[in-house]
A and B are shown apart, each in its own frame.
Chain A
Amino acid sequence: MKKSFKLFLATAFLVTEFFVIALPMLTTSARADGAIQAITHAGFGGGTDVTTRMMLLRARRVLKQDMQLVNKKGGGGAVSMDYMMSLPADGQHTLTWTTGHAVSMALGKTKVKLSDMQPLARGTDDPQLFVVNCKADIKDAKKFISAQKSKSLKYGTTHVGGIDDVSAIAFTKKGGLKDPTIVAYKGVAPIKTNLIKGDIDVGVLNLGEALTEINEGTLCVSIVLANNRMAKIGDSPTATELGIPVVLSTVRGFVTKKGAPAERVKELEAGMMKAMSHNYYKNFLTEIGLDETSVVGADEWGAQMEVMLAEMTAQLKALGYTN
């Protein structure tokens, strides 16, 4: 009897826990608005994670509201989108939407549609590059193409069923070349070492991922899959110049759930644009080989999301991933 009474007493203390945690919150108004959840789908230290954190760094101050990174891994972004849909459409959250999300939407991993999302701003627009060993003669773009008329090259990509292998396959298909031999890797580091060792012929990379080796002169960019040449590697031609119109890039931008009040959306967009015009973010862009053209507002970003989804859907269908 006595024992169970003590247990009851102890349980009663559990209830006080409500108040102990709640009290400071009820008395201070600093958190009256709560924190904005910044949802990502990527692991620590990856490109998406870092881009989001860099945006948060200043956005917190500009929006005068705390922001917390919320990581929802899984399903190539599907879990993060489903999570966003479970939240109220109050503009108290953002989701970092990437090319990977377009892929999982195209593959039907989630029921979320583009029309459920309100674009806010784009953070990075990183063109896909075909990187080769500087000692190889395919560093010349024309030889790169002619070599593939007779023989399949080995392309190193990060994972498979994403932007990287789609880039390789779209390029060879549109150029009427031999299908690539895809060697998939878990990250970019082994792609670079294997390129240097000569085990693979081409690495499908972003500029920031190979900048060290490019500066050093061990790796060279053969072809850029962008509309225009890139400032840092002005000698490397675009695929379009060579008559193979393939434009693909790894994009990351921010969205919130559709239905948030219009002024809140404007406020978020303006806040993010301001945060990303700060020197911290600009320096970050420079360091990963990009410039401020990466940052665009909601309209342009929304249009690109649609193009991206349409492109990925078509490509994955052509590859046989979807029916």
Chain B
Amino acid sequence: MENLLLMMAPLFSSKLLLVLFFGTLFGLILGVLPGLGPTTGGALILPFTMTLDPLSAIVLLTSIYCAGTYGGAITAILINTPGTPAAAATCLDGYPLAQKGEAGRALGMATVSSTVGGIFSVIILVFFAPLLAKLAYEFGQPEYFALAIFGLTMLASIGDGSPIKNLIAGAFGILISTIGKDFMTSIDRFTYGINELSEGIGFIPVVVGLFAISEMLTQSTLLNQVFKRVALKAVKLPSLNDYKLTWKTILRSSGIGSFIGVLPAEGGTVASLIGYSEAKRFSKKPEDFGKGSIEGIAGAEAANNAATGGAMVPTLALGIPGSATTAVILTGLIIHGVRPGPDLFREQPEFLYGIFGAMLIANVLFFIFGFFGAKIFARITLVPNKILWPMIFAVSVCGTYSLSQSIIDVWIMLLFGVIGFFMRRYGFSVVPVIIGLILGELVEGTLRQSLVIFDGNWLMFLTRPIALTFFILSLIALAFPLLRSKKRKKIL
């Protein structure tokens, strides 16, 4: 009870409320802009937070984190460009819905499921943080390898291509992750003597290229087709029926997202992809996925926002960041003299519960911005392409450039735009490339680390219960589509 009161503290401080308001708004803008996201944005304003008191500083960073993660969905739905990588899965169904003229419905669903996922994870954070944090210690490199393999089984079912094409695209994504200096041996791979490539190919140029730029090229081939979009329909929000259909998905994805978030790995992006693919697995209408399924949006968005609270668990309880953005938040905590860890829970609970409360309020705030803004945002789909796309190009280019102030990143983005266009034209989905790129490094790195740890003995993987569980889950995931198609035939 006392803790609850502490959580509400930000509500009674006008200064904190103001910080929260601007943090949420700034986070939303960062999330919406392709290339920029809460990680880059948080790092850019980190020095500015030095001028604030510690609680305000962390409240500012966490509200940017929460709102930025949600904001990515808006661009994903409206222009098929994930504003942040974590919204890549949201494109799959959000954009087809917007194309059908139901942008408002898609945005509304994204907002509701994001908020539910976000609040769910904050509740988990409040009650189970010290307990869950121990989970981070249970995950060694062999366990991550098994988790990554489980993630890769998504290739069989996600996207709209055939399974073999998905595998090719996935392998291509993993291949991209091997470019650059190999961190295990310091040997350059596929760099062709270009120093800039030794850091590897960034995630954001690839995502922005594969989605935004390739969509721009696709639009250039569709100029003769006239889309009739009715303004009234575009701003219509989800119906009660939509919520009845998706509440289970939202809850499942909130759970998945919180769990993945707790693991010190990739955070929201992996969470949303797994949330999406599980939504499809459990759906009564899996064939609608990729064509504008409202469940798909709910599955992806609840998961990536649930990962925000999840990722804060190890960050606050252990001082080990659960995602890229929480690494920035951790830096923010440390430079303000707050050292996360179990001591924080014992000695400064008022500070901690202030953060929890701020996260809750940030979720409510972006809900208000998002839900009532959805009608306005949805009008973007009514802007003519000949005006809209050059503007998206300008923002994408600057966003990608800002990541590491590298013009080479911009060229990589354009290159992947062209690759993405031809992939889509010939029936390859681009999402497997993203999956491969995220999980590729994890797969290769953790496999090689595990083998050193195991002194080269492959059988040692079987001695790790968590790893074994994920291997078995992977087998089930692969067998599942086969089983279901047999069952269907019987019913028919």
Contacts and interface: CB of A to CB of B under 8 A. Distances in A.
- Do A and B interact directly, with beta carbons closer than 8 Å? yes
A197 B137 contact: yes
B218 interface: no
A53 B46 contact: yes
16 contacts: A45-B328, A50-B46, A56-B47, A74-B197, A76-B198, A82-B195, A160-B183, A162-B186, A186-B445, A192-B320, A199-B140, A211-B339, A213-B341, A215-B343, A287-B334, A288-B334
Interface of B: 39-40, 42-44, 46-47, 50, 136-141, 181, 183-186, 195-199, 264, 318-321, 327-328, 331, 334-335, 337, 339-343, 404-406, 441, 445, 449, 452-453
A110 B43 CA distance: 29
A130 B376 CA distance: 57
A75 B321 contact: no
Given A44-B39, A57-B50, A183-B449, A74 B320 contact: no
Contacts of A53: 46-47
Interface string A229-267: 000000000000000000000000000000000000000
Contacts, number: 126
A183 B50 contact: no
A97 to B, nearest CB: 17
The majority secondary structure among interface residues of chain B is helix
A81 B362 CA distance: 42
Nearest to A210: B319
A71 B404 contact: yes
A190 B195 contact: no
A161 B186 contact: yes
A184 B449 contact: yes
A215 B47 contact: no
Contact of A75 (B44, B136, B196, B406): B196
B337 A287 contact: yes
Given A74-B198, A184-B449, A200-B453, A212 B319 contact: yes
Nearest to A165: B186
Interface string A22-35: 00000000000000
A184 B335 contact: no
A159 B148 CA distance: 21
Contacts of B139: 193
A184 B184 contact: yes
A160 B185 contact: yes
Contacts of A307: none
A45 B327 contact: yes
A110 B185 CA distance: 20
Interface residues of A, number: 54
A77 to B, nearest CB: 10
Interface in A131-176: 154, 159-162
A49 B43 contact: yes
Nearest to A107: B186
Nearest to A193: B137
A71 B341 contact: no
Contacts of A110: 195
B335 A284 contact: yes
Nearest to A47: B331
A29 to B, nearest CB: 25
Nearest to B39: A44
Contacts of B44: 44
Given A74-B195, A74-B199, 7 more contacts: A43-B404, A44-B40, A74-B197, A75-B198, A190-B264, A200-B453, A283-B335
A159 B186 contact: yes
Nearest to A194: B140
A53 B452 CA distance: 37
B339 to A, nearest CB: 6
Contacts of B40: 44
Given A75-B195, A79-B196, A193 B339 contact: no
Q: Which of A159, A193, A216 has the most CB of B within 10 A?
A: A193
Contacts of B453: 154, 183, 194, 199-200
A19 B179 CA distance: 42
**3 closest A-B pairs by CB:** A161-B186, A75-B195, A44-B43
A70 interface: yes
B296 to A, nearest CB: 31
A232 to B, nearest CB: 12
B196 A160 contact: no
B56 to A, nearest CB: 16
A75 to B, nearest CB: 3
B62 to A, nearest CB: 15
B141 A160 contact: no
A78 interface: yes
Interface in A169-220: 181-186, 189-190, 192-194, 196-197, 199-200, 208, 211-213, 215-216
Nearest to A70: B405
Contacts of B50: 57, 280
B194 to A, nearest CB: 8
Quick one: which of A53, A73, A185, A196 has the most chain B CB within 10 A? A73
Given A76-B181, A181-B452, A212-B340, A196 B199 contact: no
B322 to A, nearest CB: 9
Nearest to B187: A161
A321 interface: yes
Most chain A beta-carbon neighbours within 10 Å: one of B46, B195, B328, B441: B195
A79 B199 CA distance: 11
Nearest to B186: A161
Nearest to B41: A44
Contacts of A160: 183-186
A54 interface: yes
B331 A50 contact: yes
A243 to B, nearest CB: 29
A200 B340 CA distance: 24
Contact of A50 (B335, B342, B406): B335
